Structure 1
Amino acid sequence: MASMRCFGKGARPWKSPPAFNPACRRFLSSDNRFFKVSEEVREALHSKSRPVVALETTIYTHGFPYPDNVALASRLESLVRVGGGVPATIGVLDGVARVGMGAEEIIRLTASAGKKGTLKISRRDLSYICGLGAAGKKHNGGTTVAGTMVLAHLAGIKVFATGGLGGVHRGAESSMDISADLTELGRTPVAVISSGCKSFLDIPRTLEYLETEGVGVVTFADGREGNVDFPAFWSRDSGLRSPMTIRNEQEAAAIIHAHHALSLSSGLLLANPIPADASVARSEIDGIIEDAIQEATSAGASGKDNTPFILAKIKELTGGKSVIANRALIEANVRRGTSVAKELLKLERMEQAVPVGTRSDTFTVPAWPSTLQSTVAPSLPEATSNAADVAASAGLDKSTAPPKADIVVAGALAIDFSCDYAPLPGAIDQVAPQLHTSNPSIITQTLGGVAHNIAKAAHYMGASVRLCSAVGDDLSGRAAVAQLSSDGLQTSSIKVLDASTGQRTAQYVAVNDAHKDLTLAMADMSIIEQLDTWTSDRLSYLQAASPQWAIVDANWDPANLHAWLMAAKSVGAQTAFEPVSTAKSIRLFQGHSPTSAPTSSKSRPTSTIPTFPNHIVDLMTPNNHELHALHTSARSLGLFDSPAWWATIDSLGLPSSGSRTALSHLTSPALVDEGIPQMSIQLLPFVPCILTKLGPKGVLLTQLLPAGDERLSGPGDAPYVLGRDRTGSETVGGLYMRLFEPEEVLGPGEVVSVNGVGDTFLGALVAGLVHGAEKKGSKRVEDCVGLAQRAARLTLGSKEAVSPELIQLGRSARRM
């Protein structure tokens, strides 16, 4: 854990989604060595912010060769994201079952396709491959339909989209060759969207077997009336009537919702016929299948070797047409699966009374700034310097109008509980707490939350700060407001929600091991994630405060996040974004479709989100994991394909032969191998100043320099200017990159707590920028990084989320 101990706030794991089997809840621990669920999937399931769709991986490890399988994996995940969902690609990597694989993990798994040690994983194989992994024999594996269903169910995912289903093989009355997919559907409550079963199987017996197992089988009618056939994979029709039919995704979702409400333990098969333009005629494919089966029999291909042999032969006999059809049908299934998952989430939200007015999949950021006033707050007044007048025009009491402030911070305010494991003498494990039992510990309670920590750090550093957040009308909320007052922070911008709303003050519980390293954390931030009460007056608060900087954390849902950022821009404030976690960081890009960009004037390039110089975020401070998540999200949404993005990148003046040598010199070969500087550069058109927190490696500053910036010609800055514009851009002057190594790296015994370290860094950084502006003009970001690193170092050695020693550090800095 030493790599996370210097200036990185550390990931905050979110509540695990409820497991269906209580005995399996332990597998959702972030420390479990057999089973890991990505934070993005966890959060989407827990908060019901976005639908989650499970995807299998045998199609990558045993269906398509490398690198075609990489392209397919990227395509299918992109289809889910463009549809507003979260892809949960499921597989086994290094002996660990993973739900929600990252891009690098998928690449590693797909690269192992065809290798002897890469296994095909069904239910029966999970304990084998995971057990061997724990024993030191680390295998990779692609999960079959059955294996994927098991793991999806353990994670709490209800919808799974795949290509085709296994079934009863021809001659199974003597061979007993029946796919485990069918028995899994009989005992695991996951809805599988597929194009039926492969047509070389015995489809009539497959349907009979599913009926015996109690599996509901329905087929999408796709506008057809009367009797509808159950699909036969490459063909839309099989000659067999489907047991049941449905018209659309809404009906499918209603069936799934009722299925779970009735606590039925079996699965559902939603058969989605292959698109008509990709379908192979039955008259053509049936003869080819018969030939392939005969050759398989002659070659003695049986058992697990039977299906791969037949598929290869069908590919050969159709001249590759079957592969094209295969790709078309799985893409159609993933699209439909995402739509079904979205409709299911609507039903679940309605039943649980979760507000849907701020759904991320319906929010699109307008081009900046032409449509801002009509989008953010059409009824609010123009910016004014009179805080009381602004308050009155917005219907606020003059006595509660927030006074002016250097910095406004909007985001989470929470009660933090830190539980440090304190093992008794003779305990079995002297480092890690034990699951399923009570553990001796030292428990401390402090006021926290990302926005609160940032505001407190900036306040301690001497800046005038206003925190915009919300608490419930409960004991925790009243204690939070009282603590803010005692710390000298204004409370006029803290909304106390009436008890009738049912909203609770946010809470964060961290369970640490004996070395103070995070073992498990639980967070309830729903009061911020579902908060609509700021809609009418966020702009008035910002106008009254008239801040130099507005800092917004990613605990807001995407709609509120972007509204805060745009409102801050409208009052002339510079904006900073704190990503919070890998899952929440991508809210910056959520809700945007590459195909729905607003139409822009000739002077402003078209983009799915505002790009430089019309960006809505001036600065952000991700750690390396959050940077990777942001980059992956931008790429999957097609943001790197826009003309505006290319125009900015071309203006950086980077050599066409590549910049690896220069990047390695400015940073390190290890960071270049990890892709940190490259990802930072590619995100600059959207956020022109990025400070990536790299633990003991320091902080990497990557920023665009505007045309005419003095650093482009200053000799002291020359070593850090990686590129200069050669296109004649009126806005972009060049690229500045600089690695700030830490002055000191603490050892395990010197770290008191990692909570709030990254938040402290950002609060101190922006406070330094504010103080610089108050003196001899504007202080540059690079002039404040060292100060922010020293502030983070103090918090690492403090039991508080923000070290009180920042007060003295701030005084010393202001005297300089």
Structure 2
Amino acid sequence: MMHLTVNRPLTTLLKHMYMYARQKHSTSSIPNDLIQVQANVASVLRQGGPVVALESTIITHGMPYPDNLRTAQEVESIIEQNDATPATIALMNGKLHIGLTQSDLQYLAKSTSPVKASRRDLAWVLSKGLTGGTTVSGTMIGAHRAGIHVFVTGGIGGVHREGQTSMDVSADLTELGRTPVAVISAGVKSILDIPRTLEYLETEGVTVATFGPSRDFPAFFLPSSGYQAPINVTSAREAAELIDYSLSLELGSGLLIGVPIPSSVATQGQQIEDAIQSALQQASVEGIHGKDVTPFILQRVNEITGGESLKANIALIQNNARVGSKIAQELSYIRREGSKRRSVTKTTEPTAKYGQPVVIGGSNVDLVSSIRSQSIQYGDGTNLGSVHITLGGVGRNIADCLSRLGTSPMFLSAIGRDSQGDTLLGLSSHMNTSAVSIIDDHSTATYSCVLDSDGAMVLGVGDMDVHIKITPAYVSEYEKYLSSAPLVCIDGNIPVDTIEYVCKYCAQHNTPVWYEPTCIVKSTQPFQSDCWKTISYISPNFKELCMISNCLHKKNNNAYQDHNNLTVHKQVEICIELCELLLQHMYCVVVTLGQYGVLVCRNAQPEEPFLIASSTPQERTASKMSAVHYPACNADHITSVSGAGDCLTGAMIARILQQSTPDDCIKSGLLAALCSTQTVMTVPASVSTIDELLASTICQPNRVL
């Protein structure tokens, strides 16, 4: 008895270790005779890069040809545009393919009798050498075997209506309970029993979250099913952190992240819902049941709505692809950086003792035209070049940069309820946009600019009327965030009365305010009253600093008009003189000098940490003023300078909040600005790599005062 008592636990432990070793081996190895990973996908996976899995039943059973092929190609393109690699999964020629070529997609789209392959069908389809489109469960298995953690689909299966008697429950749910893959979907189709589906997922131990500002669980064509998810994630970063922790705990179960349908097509939801109910009744009358119900319903609803349901279906899948790509990108970075990244985002001193930073400002969709020729044709001539659509808005750019550098801010802005707004939110999924106000009777701000062959702006046109909706009343809803923030950043796009409100409120709560001018015209907005005296930081360029000085002195100083002809030493001399007046009340002036770098003037010694809410209040006297000039980082080429200043500010703020040394704060800003100049994207994903560049950057600052 003594012998048995001692060794039974040991035997059990050895058995569990053996089973665990087998499970670990089976999920990490790839049997080449059964699974074929496309070369590009395999390469990205080896490097730990972002890969997004896609199912293939949407191609084989979800849509008619050629809509199915076009949708598959567009979704893969969206994933690539968002810096991730698509991996459509399907069964062909006796192998489970992870990633398809264009010819594979065409073959699959035109297949006449493909099998709809769930977990139970995989072995049979492979053994017979048949063609099969993988369902959610089939795709999850393939993704997990290949080491892909993020899977984008339209909607998952669930418990069918009357499922408590028919026991008709989708294999998707049990797969989520035993396969550690994050499924990004528009929730559950309304033809299913949604509350029982959520209960079943809870029983299976599946983490269910919604993406965006609300816990309302989406119902495919409807943004809300009327039921709530247990948790909510507001950004791609937050979603990726959730997935990372789940994978690190080796829970063995998956996650379901519900993304509501874009607002631009959600208005058609009720019409589609009525069509679904009609199709359900018809299916019941005709005796259609089991796995044949969903394709029948989708086809019938498409007929009833005159194709509107198909458009909405495609729109939500494309939106899920954008969100999933950003999540995969963030997850890739987190898992490569490991605990180092977690320590930045979770235990940085300012965010541990205080709330998150707040950014208040404009959000735009930008149309950037770059001219190739050195000479510009005006009038009837046509300039050859390239045209790109990207995101902009000074406030949005700064919030974007902060988010990519591990300091996700609360972002307050206003956009229209339109396709441009959907695009903006979709491409900003790595940010916390839950507080952005969506306005019915205004269009999302758009900005069009023309750049010369050197990347300098020639002409800009903006439609910014929606920014007047960033009102004091709207901002006041987030006063608790303002009062607890380590720093609040505002831009010149917001109305003057909102600027004055924010400055006054933050002054009452000792919260430093950073003002970022957006242009020469708007640079003087805070200086129309005494509210500027409560601002701690301001970051003008040379022209904007001259305009501010003119406003305060009530004179017309034209020094900026020919500043390009001034030497760097003369520009620095003028800036120091103009900053002296501002520093009688402000703490720091960061003057951007373009190719000449940046001049930092402040009421502190150069080696002292920058001021944030957690810092000991510093005396602001002119006698303590210091001025340090940092040269710009060298660039081999310049594509666009339109986002450089915003990236400099965003990176500086991120490092200030992380209490880095002043040198590292400013050098990080210069490196982020350099990253921005190398691409048409105002805030490229590459800004997240500036830590790797910082150690090797040679930048000798020059203290001039």
TM-score range, shorter chain: 0.3 to 0.5
Q: Which has the higher contact order (CA 8 A, sep 6+)?
A: 1
TM-score computed with the length of structure 2 as normaliser = 0.46
Instruction: Give the structure with the higher percent helix.
Output: 2
TM-score computed with the length of structure 1 as normaliser = 0.40
